[in-house]
């Protein structure tokens, strides 16, 4: 858990108690964990990528990645961390490719304006970055550290999730009330699915048959409060579930 105090709270899931508080950089925006569970990566909006050691719960390094780090994702083998840098009005967004063992940036890739999220495919081959500033999706080849395609999305491309078989990437378009379905084999838009108002986040079922899209509404005064359930076999909404206010999804692996 991160907070405005520029710290990360470490919670013991057995007791549901905070057992440590680790100091990180300025403006932490998220937390991702290495596959071996030994390191935690915290992108910090004003200072770079903070790295914590889970054995000591201490900050061990801070790496400058670019202008306004906003999110991060780790490759399945743990050898790379991909950090999106939101940039400024004068500077387009970038993705910093970090070698966590060497604790340095090994490549910086220019993507679209205002990258808002990042996800690595389960097979480790591709990295997907929705850019809310220019309504596109950048696809990074993880082997060559190059942007191999830029695809059109819809208004305010926001979050992204990749199916377990790495076949599909789903991008929520917050102002477009749609989900852009990316065909990972051909680097092409396969479909655009209309969902609820203000789709915010998306997650796949473990078997990949269903994708769940949380619809938060246009704003707090015009909420939607639903989850659209997409059948991935035909890219259509199967049902809509009413939930609580301003829903946001997270996938818990079995």
| Each residue's pLDDT tens digit, 67-94 | 999 999 999 999 999 999 998 766 679 9
Domains held by the chain: number: 1
**Residue 249 belongs to some domain of the structure:** no
Q: How confident is the model at residue 250 (pLDDT cuts 50, 70, 90)?
A: low
Contacts for 150 with CB less than 8 Å, ≥ 6 apart: 111, 112, 136, 137, 138, 139
Helix or strand (DSSP H, E) at 63: strand 58-63
Q: What is the pLDDT of residues 154-173, one digit of tens each?
A: 999 999 999 999 999 999 99
Residues 165, 168, 173, 176, Cα dihedral to 10°: -140
The domain that holds 190 is classified in CATH as: 2.130.10.10
Q: For residues 58 and 76, give the distance between their C-alpha atoms in angstroms, rounded to a whole number.
A: 24
Q: For residues 60 and 25, give the distance between their C-alpha atoms in angstroms, rounded to a whole number.
A: 11
**Residue 242 belongs to some domain of the structure:** no
Contacts for 206 with CB less than 8 Å, ≥ 6 apart: 164, 253, 254
**Residue 50 belongs to some domain of the structure:** yes
CB distance 128 to 137 below 8 Å: yes
Residue 141: give the domain boundaries: 7-195
Query: Would the pLDDT of 253 be above 60?
Result: no
Query: Would the pLDDT of 24 be above 60?
Result: yes
Query: Would the pLDDT of 200 be above 60?
Result: yes
Query: Would the pLDDT of 252 be above 50?
Result: no
**Residue 167 belongs to some domain of the structure:** yes
Give mean pLDDT, residues 182-195.
97
Query: Would the pLDDT of 100 be above 80?
Result: yes
**Residue 187 belongs to some domain of the structure:** yes
Query: If you average pLDDT over every residue of the chain, what do you get?
Result: 92
User: For residue 134, which phi and psi values (nearest 5 degrees)?
Assistant: -125, 15
**Residue 208 belongs to some domain of the structure:** no
**Residue 227 belongs to some domain of the structure:** no
Query: Would the pLDDT of 254 be above 60?
Result: no
**Residue 135 belongs to some domain of the structure:** yes
């Amino acid at each position: 858990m991160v907070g405005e105090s520029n710290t990360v709270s470490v919670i013991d899931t057995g007791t549901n108690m905070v057992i440590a508080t680790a100091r990180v950089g300025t403006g932490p925006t998220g937390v991702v964990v290495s596959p071996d569970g030994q390191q935690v990566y915290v992108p910090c909006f004003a200072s770079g990528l903070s790295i914590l050691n889970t054995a000591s719960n201490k900050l061990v390094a801070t790496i400058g990645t670019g202008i306004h780090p906003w999110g991060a994702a780790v490759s399945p083998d743990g050898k790379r961390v991909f950090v999106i840098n939101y940039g400024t009005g004068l500077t387009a967004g970038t993705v910093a490719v970090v070698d966590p063992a060497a604790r340095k940036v090994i490549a910086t890739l220019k993507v679209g304006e205002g990258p808002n999220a990042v996800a690595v495919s389960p097979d480790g081959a591709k990295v997907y970055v929705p850019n809310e500033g220019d309504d596109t999706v950048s696809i990074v080849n993880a082997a060559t550290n190059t942007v191999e395609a830029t695809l059109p999305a819809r208004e305010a491309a926001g979050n992204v999730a990749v199916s377990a078989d790495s076949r599909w990437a789903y991008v929520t378009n917050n102002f477009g009330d749609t989900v852009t379905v990316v065909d990972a084999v051909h680097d092409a838009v396969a479909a655009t699915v209309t969902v609820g108002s203000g789709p915010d986040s998306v997650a796949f079922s473990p078997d990949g048959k269903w994708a769940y899209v949380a619809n938060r509404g246009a704003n707090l005064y015009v909420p939607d409060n639903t989850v659209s359930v997409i059948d991935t076999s035909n890219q259509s909404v199967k049902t809509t579930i009413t939930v609580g206010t301003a829903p946001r999804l997270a996938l818990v692996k079995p």
